[in-house]
Structure 1
Amino acid sequence: PRDLAALGAGLTAARAIVAMLLDRAALPAELSKASRALSEIDPDLPARLDATLAEELPLNRRDGRFVREGHDPALDELRLLQVDSRKVIAQLQARYAAETGCRTLRIKHNAMLGYFVEVPQAVGEDFLKEPWRATFVHRQTMSDAMRFSSVELGGLEAKIASAADRALKLELGIFAALSEAVLDQAEPIKRAAAALAEIDVAAGLAELAAREGWVRPLVDASEAFTIAGGRHPVVEAALKRDGKPFVANETDLSPPGDGAKGGRICLITGPNMAGKSTFLRQNALIAVLAQMGAFVPATSAHIGIVDRLFSRVGAADDLARGRSTFMVEMVETAAILNQAGPRALVILDEIGRGTATFDGLSIAWAAIEHLHEVNRCRGLFATHYHELTALADRLERVSNATVRVTEWKGEVVFLHEVVPGAADRSYGIQVAKLAGLPPAVVERARTILGELEKSEREKPVASLVDDLPLFAVPQRRAAAPPVLPAEDPLRLALDGLDLDEMTPREALEALYRLKGMS
């Protein structure tokens, strides 16, 4: 019953929406199509559902009492008998008393006789005579009273006894008729539901854009990716609830010049908690919003079509399958490097941090080279390996950005502003202090950091940039991949096997044959 009521309310709302849309002189193609779909609904169906179903509905039809009072007179009579049988009996008693002139006439009930009429002994003698003999049937004589039944009272008793069952049967019949009427309109209702969904999405996005000051992006077939005043919609909403502003940022991943092939890869450095991950995610979200037809949280946006979005952020393991956190990271990175194309957008957060320093630096270094020379995609690469920022001087489409911070009385202050340039430090010890590490641990970490930085100055890792063959990647890319023979007998034999139909013995024999061919 509740499903039917919800459907009826939805259809009523749909017709109201149609009336609103018809008032508009011109509608976009999607809304015009949705309006036509809503107009196909039978106008009698929602009215019939509303007129039949009660205001308060049970969860299941077997519980009954879901048909509105006044809809079916027979059902109303059965309900009256079921719920207010005393009132019906009292009405019959008053009528019998008035007709016979016996003010002491009573209708009573017991387990043996059921309902019966009881009158004093003297009056009961008259009931044995005409004209009352035809109405009342003698049932029992007491010392001071006589008891009678009547055809009307017997029928009323039977009705009262079966009223609940018959009322539920009537209601289930009404329910079946309503269900049949709904099923007859199944296809128009499905089209109306789809149309309402389209209208709901359009209206929801429009309301959000108007309320939050979003703008209409320019989406075209170029490789552009320029966002001014970009914001993360979820983080911004959370900050707004606390009365705090969100710091908007610029992004430019467009090709660096006329004729350049492939978008920029931006290396973002800066401390933890500064907002690097938020910056990565907000740009991915803006790309998705733009291509789904929504306005975006920015002051302006020009985005060339993104055919695939790849994301490698966060830390997770899959121990049940024998994968550590670093292994999961590498599997996801491998998927990106093997699949991303020139129109892809890639966001990578802290690649290589789950292993030894030089291992991780080497992997991140090689991944950037591959993205630049092979994938040629637009990308945002957040890292704590400051050595990687030197790649911007060697690779045409790699640029550097950093999240600004400042220090005040020994405390780090995050400004959440992304600007061109590279960070000179990660402020990890300050973040550790904010997290609540014991003061002794923090001070010891400062001492060790000073020693390590001293050794770095004596033999900087960044000098490796001048020694490594950074442009070996294009040469490897130019090498032709191995080509398999047009007709490999082993592959043909494998293709001819129907593994689902083979017995274990047949499978073993096939394996020996294949081994002999290898």
Structure 2
Amino acid sequence: VTSAGSRLLAQRLAAPLTDSAAIARRLDAIAAFVADSGLRDDLRSTLHAAPDLSRALARLSLGRGGPRDLAGLRDAILAADQALAQLARMQEPPQEIAAIVAALRRPSRELAREFALALAEQLPLLKRDGGFVREGYEGALDESRNLRDASRLVVASMQARYADESGVKGLKIRHNNVLGYFVEVTAQHGDRLMSPPLNATFIHRQTLAGQVRFTTSELSEIEAKIANAGDRALGLELEIFEKLCALAVASAEDLRAAAYAFASLDVATALAKRAVDDNYVRPDVDGSLSFAIEGGRHPVVEQALKRDGQPFIANACDLSPVGGRVGAGQIWLLTGPNMAGKSTFLRQNALIALLAQAGSFVPASRARIGIVDRLFSRVGAADDLARGRSTFMVEMVETAVILNQASERSLVILDEIGRGTATFDGLSIAWAAIEHLHEANRCRALFATHYHELTALSAKLPRLFNATVRVKEWQGNVVFLHEVLPGSADRSYGIQVAKLAGLPPSVIARAKFVLAKLEAQDRGQTARALADDLPLFAVPSRAAAEPAPPSEGDKLIEAVRALHPDEMSPREALEALYALKAKLPK
């Protein structure tokens, strides 16, 4: 409910913690506000009315502040007192809230009282406009203001007297920044004031199309007094403003601590309200390699469905080490139709981990997460043509970062690796990537794919777990159930999705015919045979990765193959024979 709270929440989401103790302190604060809804609502009302303390202090520190920023500091300190009174209702506040209480007590209450005495009720936006110092705060300022205001009354009485003396009822005394104060009459009365005896009093200054302007010696004297009084009053106000700013800057460290406490309090109460309203639970974040989510939900998609009155189908995910072995996180290979929810499932688990380590409750019925050191995501399609990178090149670059950097503590989500190139090229890359994740990175990972042939790898890779998204076929259509279950899919239902998208019926019919022909080749059987034939992936050494140098026999064979006898002259053939003999080992 505050700008500072919004900024702090964005910072925490952008930089989650990897210290389980620090995460626990944040979660303790949220849990306290989950348990006490009355205190939570009272604090949110106080915070909602509080000004943005950090922004006001920053403007004043940079010399760009105004009177309203000083009032913001005053009101923020008063709001801190109100929040402290509300927080005093907690019997044993958690460590995070105790730190907030200590920070809210730091700003000097004398500073707030000084600002309350100095500042008027109605404040201008800019200090140069003046009028922001309360009457009675500074005696010299009150004297200058009285002189300025009294002089203006003198001008008003002078205008009435000049009108009577000249007999011109429409005579006005006006002011602008060029001429200062001047007497103005309409053009038809201008000659009258320029004729004796009135011309002895009224001195002509300017003739316009419809008006004539004059001045008098008396008016010039009054103008000097008014200008001096106004300038002196504004100068005194600016001096008072600088003094108050100096007081604020001197207390900047305490005020910044209070501003951060306000933001932390806003984040904790907001996340507590979200947890209560949307049934979030406290995650168990520890130093293990566990990753067990029960009833997990996507925090954004769930809100969109709720607005449409539809439920979100929750799903479990367990990437914890098999049998508790350290450094052996599971890899889930997720297959299933288009539009069934594979990408949503991948992202929701990554977001649950991010929220948990940012110090928030999570959308699940239970969650245990071992600290994730880095979260890697390879999702979607994008190009970088300005740097000469195609869509597939960008995909491979991002995949390379993951395979080269992910550790056993990392969490990786990969969606459709290898789809941007030829089918067997892509299948080969995805196959090798899974083996590398399993044997080299040994990280916790979710790998979504339409290459159903990859499911055969689960027979060889002990930590590879096949999962699929459940669907039902009904009268030629596909019903998406959005449930993630053990097993594998054998179809992607892409043609049905194309039909839903509105492709012409002729295209759909032709696609079904071509698909039937292709499926008759039974590529799945080929993949199973390939999985049986290939040895398990092993991390290659540098020597193994480099091709072996050709032997002398290989060189001799290549030299013979390079000969073309029918095209050679007798002399060329004799020279070639001598060259071959020279290659024989001695």
- Taking structure 1 as the reference length, the TM-score comes to 0.77
Matched, 1:412 2:455: no
Paired letter, 1:446: K
Aligned length: 450
1:206–1:158: structure 2 CA closer, same or farther, 3 Å change rule? same
Alpha-carbon distance in 1 for matches of 2:516, 2:229? 91
Alpha-carbon distance in 2 for matches of 1:459, 1:478? 34
* 1:21-64 deviation line (CA, Å, top 9, x unaligned): 23322111122122112211111223333444455544433344
Alpha-carbon distance in 2 for matches of 1:295, 1:65? 49
Alpha-carbon distance in 1 for matches of 2:251, 2:135? 26
Matched, 1:205 2:267: no
Report what 1:495 is aligned to.
none
Report what 1:453 is aligned to.
519
Paired letter, 2:240: I
Report what 1:296 is aligned to.
362
How far does residue 214 in structure 1 lie from its aligned partner after superposition?
0.8
Report what 2:91 is aligned to.
25
Alpha-carbon distance in 2 for matches of 1:56, 1:421? 70
Paired letter, 2:396: M
Where structure 2 has 5 or more consecutive residues not aligned to the other structure, the ranges are 1-65, 184-193, 203-214, 547-586
Output aligned runs, 1:41-60, within 5 Å: 41-54=107-120, 57-60=123-126
Matched, 1:250 2:320: no
Alpha-carbon distance in 1 for matches of 2:522, 2:100? 66
Q: Give the secondary-structure state (helix, strand or coil) at the position aligned to 2:317.
A: strand
* 1:282-319 deviation line (CA, Å, top 9, x unaligned): 11111122223221110011112212211111111111
- Contact 1:81 1:88 (C-alpha < 8 Å) held by counterparts: no
- Contact 2:453 2:524 (C-alpha < 8 Å) held by counterparts: no
Output aligned runs, 1:184-203, within 5 Å: 184-203=250-269
1:79–1:407: structure 2 CA closer, same or farther, 3 Å change rule? farther
How far does residue 147 in structure 1 lie from its aligned partner after superposition?
6.7
Report what 1:427 is aligned to.
493
1:179–1:444: structure 2 CA closer, same or farther, 3 Å change rule? same
Report what 1:399 is aligned to.
465
1:186–1:412: structure 2 CA closer, same or farther, 3 Å change rule? same
Q: Give the secondary-structure state (helix, strand or coil) at the position aligned to 1:228.
A: strand
- Contact 2:180 2:223 (C-alpha < 8 Å) held by counterparts: no
* Worse-superposed segment, 14-23 or 291-300: 14-23
Identity level (%): 60
* 1:161-190 deviation line (CA, Å, top 9, x unaligned): 445544432332222122111111111112
1:425–1:57: structure 2 CA closer, same or farther, 3 Å change rule? farther
Paired letter, 2:264: E
Alpha-carbon distance in 2 for matches of 1:199, 1:15? 14
Alpha-carbon distance in 2 for matches of 1:206, 1:198? 12
Q: Give the secondary-structure state (helix, strand or coil) at the position aligned to 1:257.
A: helix
Where structure 1 has 5 or more consecutive residues not aligned to the other structure, the ranges are 97-101, 117-139, 483-518
- Taking structure 2 as the reference length, the TM-score comes to 0.68
Structure with the bigger RCO (C-alpha within 8 Å, sep 6+) is 2
1:37–1:481: structure 2 CA closer, same or farther, 3 Å change rule? farther
Alpha-carbon distance in 1 for matches of 2:124, 2:430? 61
Paired letter, 1:428: G
* 1:245-285 deviation line (CA, Å, top 9, x unaligned): 11111111112224464111001111222111111111111
* 1:52-89 deviation line (CA, Å, top 9, x unaligned): 44555444333444445665576567667778976454
Alpha-carbon distance in 2 for matches of 1:319, 1:110? 66
Output aligned runs, 1:228-307, within 5 Å: 228-259=294-325, 261-307=327-373
- Contact 1:404 1:415 (C-alpha < 8 Å) held by counterparts: yes
- Contact 2:453 2:523 (C-alpha < 8 Å) held by counterparts: no
Report what 2:456 is aligned to.
390
2:383 to 309, 314, 317: 317
Paired letter, 1:229: G
* 1:138-166 deviation line (CA, Å, top 9, x unaligned): xx996599979999987654333445544
1:144–1:351: structure 2 CA closer, same or farther, 3 Å change rule? closer
- Contact 2:283 2:368 (C-alpha < 8 Å) held by counterparts: yes
Report what 1:352 is aligned to.
418
* Worse-superposed segment, 192-201 or 107-116: 107-116
Output aligned runs, 1:344-383, within 5 Å: 344-383=410-449
* Worse-superposed segment, 338-347 or 58-67: 58-67
Report what 1:492 is aligned to.
none
Alpha-carbon distance in 1 for matches of 2:422, 2:454? 16
Alpha-carbon distance in 2 for matches of 1:114, 1:206? 63
1:333–1:168: structure 2 CA closer, same or farther, 3 Å change rule? same
Alpha-carbon distance in 2 for matches of 1:260, 1:37? 41
1:431–1:85: structure 2 CA closer, same or farther, 3 Å change rule? farther
1:150–1:319: structure 2 CA closer, same or farther, 3 Å change rule? closer
How far does residue 198 in structure 1 lie from its aligned partner after superposition?
2.3
Report what 1:177 is aligned to.
243
* 1:73-111 deviation line (CA, Å, top 9, x unaligned): 7656766777897645457899x9xxxxx9x9x998599
How far does residue 218 in structure 1 lie from its aligned partner after superposition?
1.4
1:468 to 534, 559, 564: 534
How much is the aligned-residue C-alpha RMSD, in angstroms? 3.7
1:166–1:457: structure 2 CA closer, same or farther, 3 Å change rule? same
How far does residue 437 in structure 1 lie from its aligned partner after superposition?
2.0
Alpha-carbon distance in 2 for matches of 1:110, 1:357? 86
Q: Give the secondary-structure state (helix, strand or coil) at the position aligned to 2:309.
A: coil
Alpha-carbon distance in 1 for matches of 2:507, 2:145? 79
Report what 1:498 is aligned to.
none
1:3–1:114: structure 2 CA closer, same or farther, 3 Å change rule? closer
Paired letter, 2:395: E
Paired letter, 1:235: V
1:423–1:78: structure 2 CA closer, same or farther, 3 Å change rule? farther
- Contact 1:54 1:68 (C-alpha < 8 Å) held by counterparts: yes
1:268–1:44: structure 2 CA closer, same or farther, 3 Å change rule? same
- Contact 2:471 2:478 (C-alpha < 8 Å) held by counterparts: yes
* 1:469-512 deviation line (CA, Å, top 9, x unaligned): 2x1416x3799999xxxxxxxxxxxxxxxxxxxxxxxxxxxxxx
Matched, 1:437 2:503: yes
1:288–1:113: structure 2 CA closer, same or farther, 3 Å change rule? closer
How far does residue 3 in structure 1 lie from its aligned partner after superposition?
2.9
- Contact 1:314 1:349 (C-alpha < 8 Å) held by counterparts: yes
* Worse-superposed segment, 142-151 or 438-447: 142-151
